[in-house]
Chains A and B, each alone.
Chain A
């Protein structure tokens, strides 16, 4: 608890600095990552983040120390080489995109490890700092380095915000952008550079292997909550910042813990919540709305059976007759009956279940839609009358009043369907 207060009251200026740095950095990577997620290129970020390792090692070898300028420079060069190679291979070989990304990623990383072992053998005492690029350590970032990285993150955020329109064109409809005269290849180049920059900065905190999470997960999670680009970007940034600060806090309390893994676990947790509980797109929500829909269709079927019974001259059906119509759906049928009774669409008169007035109207509507659709299929698609029932069984729940009007008009308000059954109208008496 003391640690918690100490950390979050920011009385230690270096902690305040680091939290600020993590915030900017998280927003930057989430921002870039969301765009590449929307571009269906989520794993390109993974490829880039593994590929910067040789560049970092080369920068280290050249500078002889952990000079941020050399390291960022080296990383940018090898990251660009990997990006260029990926697109060159894509247009010049027959390999599929995932093979290309996996190949580029693992080869660059392998080469990076060769360089890393070479550095290890030189016995340079600063070597220890290099390991932190692999797993990330936000607490270990030096204050003077923070200026460089924070500045670069700000540049990323600013340029993405200023060129928002161009990048949305790139992501959503490149061809359209080209047609109206935007230099799409140049925009992609700028975007790739921003992506490489954000990877280079991000790996300070989260490490080479896990950097992909900081790019992919916030965007993927936020996508569940909204369809608007601006909200999406803000949410993704928020997820990244929350996780970044949590991860930093944990590696502050447990100094041996690298920051990266905790950031990733926290991000994935937020993503899991989004996948499960987000309205409209979440698994739970979709499950519930599917159940609702299935119940509704079953109720429609019960109403329809009762309507057919009245057509045959009965007043209604008793419970057992209704249950025997749907042999494997006892629970659903009972549920439908009690729902319809409660909503006054059915009347239970001494065990005989009958349609009420409002129930009749509803039942007529469903049967009408069913038979109209059958007629339409028969007349306009030339489908034989004995083949139209199944399709109508599905469409009767979906046809809107507007569509019904259109069908009716097209069929010139028919009286009979292809099976010579009456198409019931609202004013008809049954």
Chain B
């Protein structure tokens, strides 16, 4: 069974690329205490996807990505509006915004069902297992390989260069927005750019892993890494490692259990998170006596 399997390789590498893109963005979302905003965005892009699909007539149109990007930004703006103008507390504004936009998305899917070949389940779970048969075929009829893999690669490159180019700005505004402002960094613009990257990543990954599992990939690897380290560079490295690890393990476990690959990846991620949480928890350290004196003093 462990011979080289091209499909397995393709699926695992695509899943890893998606997990890495999500993880990279997720690190900054977590540092900004915006993990739930990420959750909200990934639900909120749904109407954008449906409208884009409706306009372009295919799931692959640029319109889909633009629609989703716009909706992602709209969601952040609505959350901000509710919080600042209507003075609703943050968690409630997030809850109200994403449920409304998601509901509109589902209604649109049902209204346009005759026109749009999208079903609600596919949006929610995605299915990466069909990746090898969903090929990108050029106009001359030449097959370039799986479409989603290309999308994931493009996404990874964009996210990677986004983080690489704006690393200093992202870091500063995540830790100390006021100081960032003083240094002349437009915190609002950086924030919106990050949100747009998150919405773009959600769309680009949603037919592979589904809208809700994107959230898991955004949140779980960074949270797990954060349990082990506080340094931002090792945080990023660890997040990437965890992303790849859960892709590999998730694929083979899903193969064994004959279940959804994306779901299994998240389950594995959850298990890794839980184990890390137990190992790094205060009580556990105390019992094992592995705490260094300095740490014991601090806690």
Interface residues of chain A, those whose CB is within 8 Å of chain B, are: 37, 40-43, 45-46, 50, 85, 89, 92-96, 98-103, 105-118, 121, 131, 134-135, 209-210, 212-213, 215-217, 219-220, 254, 256-258, 260-262, 264-265, 268, 271, 275, 281, 283
Contact = CB atoms under 8 A, between A and B. Distances in A.
24 contacts: A85-B274, A95-B227, A102-B223, A105-B39, A107-B273, A109-B212, A109-B266, A110-B262, A110-B265, A113-B260, A114-B259, A114-B264, A116-B125, A117-B260, A135-B120, A213-B103, A254-B110, A258-B110, A261-B104, A264-B102, A265-B104, A268-B100, A275-B82, A275-B88
Contact of A110 (B35, B113, B120, B270): B270
A215 B280 CA distance: 33
Interface string B246-269: 000000001001111011111101
Contact of B263 (A89, A117, A135, A275): A117
Contact of B39 (A42, A106, A113, A258): A106
Contacts of B30: 96, 99
Contacts, number: 203
B79 interface: no
A395 B82 CA distance: 30
B100 A265 contact: yes
Q: Which of A107, A118, A121, A213 has the most CB of B within 10 A?
A: A107
A283 B86 contact: yes
Q: Which of A109, A114, A213 has the most CB of B within 10 A?
A: A114
A209 B43 contact: yes
Contacts of A131: 121
Given A103-B220, A106-B219, A265-B103, A114 B35 contact: no
B96 A261 contact: no
Nearest to B82: A275
B187 interface: no
Size band of the interface chain B makes with A: 35 or more
B92 A42 contact: yes
B38 A102 contact: yes
B134 interface: no
B259 A118 contact: yes
A113 B213 contact: yes
Contact of A268 (B96, B219, B257, B269): B96
A109 B86 contact: no
Interface in B110-125: 110, 113, 120-121, 124-125
Q: Which of B92, B106, B216, B280 has the most CB of A within 10 A?
A: B92
A275 B267 contact: no
B34 interface: yes
A46 B95 contact: yes
Nearest to A89: B277
Contacts of A254: 110
Interface of B: 30, 33-36, 38-39, 43, 82, 85-89, 91-92, 94-96, 98-100, 102-104, 106-107, 110, 113, 120-121, 124-125, 210, 212-213, 215-216, 218-220, 222-223, 226-227, 254, 257-260, 262-267, 269-270, 273-274, 277, 280-283
A121 B254 CA distance: 13
Contact of B99 (A92, A109, A115, A213): A213
A41 B90 CA distance: 10
B281 A257 contact: no
Contacts of A101: 35-36
Contact of B257 (A95, A114, A212, A216): A114
A92 B227 CA distance: 11
Contacts of B110: 254, 256-258, 261
Contact of A95 (B91, B124, B223, B262): B223
Given A92-B283, A121-B259, A275-B86, A106 B107 contact: no
A210 to B, nearest CB: 5
A45 B95 CA distance: 10
A261 B106 contact: yes
Given A42-B95, A103-B273, A107-B270, A283 B85 contact: yes
Contacts of A117: 125, 258-260, 263
Given A98-B35, A109-B216, A265-B107, A216 B96 contact: yes
Contacts of A216: 92, 95-96, 99
Contacts of A256: 110, 113
A105 B214 CA distance: 12
B95 A212 contact: yes
A212 to B, nearest CB: 5
A116 B262 CA distance: 12
Given A42-B95, A256-B110, A96 B103 contact: no
Contacts of A271: 96
B214 to A, nearest CB: 9
A102 B39 contact: yes
10 smallest beta-carbon distances between A and B, as pairs = A110-B266, A107-B270, A106-B216, A213-B99, A113-B263, A261-B103, A264-B103, A114-B263, A216-B95, A92-B281
Contacts of B283: 92
A111 to B, nearest CB: 5
